[in-house]
């Protein structure tokens, strides 16, 4: 007779999750990550990024395969509409991070999730970007995330579950609290 | 005899750029945009977004084609590494927006650009996400953008050109100054 022990929850490998947490607890330098992309302008509103190897605890780790991310603007914003635009990519970054953060932290708490969907919408006033009104910001004025979750949980547990994304998500934290961005320019010859 | 008038600069349609600015000046409601995505969890660290139609001045405008954006985590972060991760997508959103903002505003100023490349790197300490150290934030601690530009410009003009991205980019502004994010949860049945 053999017994089969469930080792994944929500698609997350629980023994590895536990060992990762313990490893970072014991060696804080294992928490250190540097993520990188490179971007190349194609023309007009079109450009493309290639995701680069990242650094973990001083070690450079390549991704298993290359990832190319394309951006363009819709016609009303003078582009060819060949890809999502930068502010739409920003919404994707937020959606994906809130979802993954919730899923991982739910796994760590033994909460099973059946399904997660979300819709995000962000309001922008182009007068900011165009420099037409100094009191109007260039960026999003606000973003609304609607999370829809299927799970065998009480209403109270569902609220706890849904709070995990905003509580732990790196992109949510970056966006809500802001991030220092340094820009350096070099001449291409 | 006919004369050919240059109507695009940096791939940007100058007459349309001018008419867009004039239209928004005259009718501020034309500045109003609402961008949307929907996201669906696949399992573990994997999820996918579909870019949705956006609203411009109250009118819903579909994109010319569908855009699917995929996210996953690398193996060291317990994923299958099938896509860029959320914080890498965030870097792409920033790179693409800084580039496009610079290109459009350069066109409006009559500054020709030959080439733009950029590399972005962001530092993250996983102890924030893991909840291991309250003093460490969950999000990026800082992002560094290196812009490399080819253009027939003096050093002073190159500096002016490179300042246009940070000065006008909606994603840069959203990230540096922060954005209010509202999260609403619903039960999927």
Q: State the pLDDT at residue A68.
A: 98
CB contact (8 A) between residue B99 and residue A39: yes
CA dist., res. B135 & res. B115, Å (int): 41
Q: Report whether pLDDT(B5) > 80.
A: no
Residue B108, pLDDT score: 97
Chain A residue numbers touching B121 (CB-CB < 8 A): 34-36
Local confidence band at B1 (pLDDT 50, 70, 90 cut-offs)? low
* Residues near B60 by beta carbon (within 8 Å), at least 6 away in sequence: B53, B54
| Complex ipTM > 0.85 | yes
Count of beta carbons in the 10 Å neighbourhood of residue B18 = 11
Per-residue pLDDT band for A6 (boundaries 50, 70, 90) equals: low
Distance CA B176, CA A27 (A): 31
- Summarised one tens digit per residue, pLDDT across range B114-127 is 999 999 999 999 99
Residue A146 clears pLDDT 80, i.e. is over it:
yes
- Kind and range of the H or E run holding B121: strand B115-125
B118 vs A contacts (CB less than 8 Å): 38-39
pLDDT of residue B74: 98
Higher confidence at residue A165 or residue B3?
A165
Q: What residues of A are in contact with residue B78 (Cβ under 8 Å)?
A: 12-13, 16-17, 20, 104
Q: Which of A12, A126, A187 sits opposite B31 (nearest CB)?
A: A126
Which residues in B lie closer than 8 A to residue A111 (C-beta atoms)?
none
Length of chain A equals 189
- Smallest Cβ–Cβ distance between A49 and the set B95, B131, B159 belongs to B95
Please determine, for residue A34, whether its predicted confidence score (pLDDT) is greater than 70: yes
A35 φ, ψ (degrees, to nearest 5): -100, 150
Q: Are A86 and B100 in contact (CB under 8 A)?
A: yes
- Determine, for residues A99 and B39 on separate chains, whether the beta-carbon distance falls below 8 Å: yes
> pLDDT tens digit string along B138-168?
999 999 999 999 999 999 999 999 999 999 9
């Amino acid at each position: 007779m053999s017994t089969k022990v469930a080792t994944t929850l929500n698609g997350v490998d629980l023994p590895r999750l536990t060992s990762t947490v313990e490893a970072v607890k014991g060696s804080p330098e294992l928490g250190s990550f540097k993520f990188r992309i490179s971007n190349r302008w194609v023309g007009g509103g079109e450009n493309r990024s290639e995701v680069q190897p990242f650094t973990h605890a001083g070690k450079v780790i390549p991704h298993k395969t290359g990832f190319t991310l394309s951006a363009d603007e819709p016609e009303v914003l003078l582009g060819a509409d060949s890809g999502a635009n930068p502010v739409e990519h920003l919404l994707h970054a937020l959606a994906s991070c809130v979802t993954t953060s919730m899923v991982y932290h739910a796994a760590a708490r033994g909460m099973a999730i059946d399904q997660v969907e979300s819709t995000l919408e962000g309001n922008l006033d182009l007068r900011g970007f165009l420099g037409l009104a100094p009191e109007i910001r260039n960026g999003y004025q606000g973003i609304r995330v609607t999370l829809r979750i299927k799970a065998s949980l009480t209403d109270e547990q569902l609220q706890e579950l849904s709070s995990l994304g905003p509580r732990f998500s790196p992109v949510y934290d970056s966006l809500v609290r802001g991030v220092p961005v340094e820009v350096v320019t070099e001449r291409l010859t």
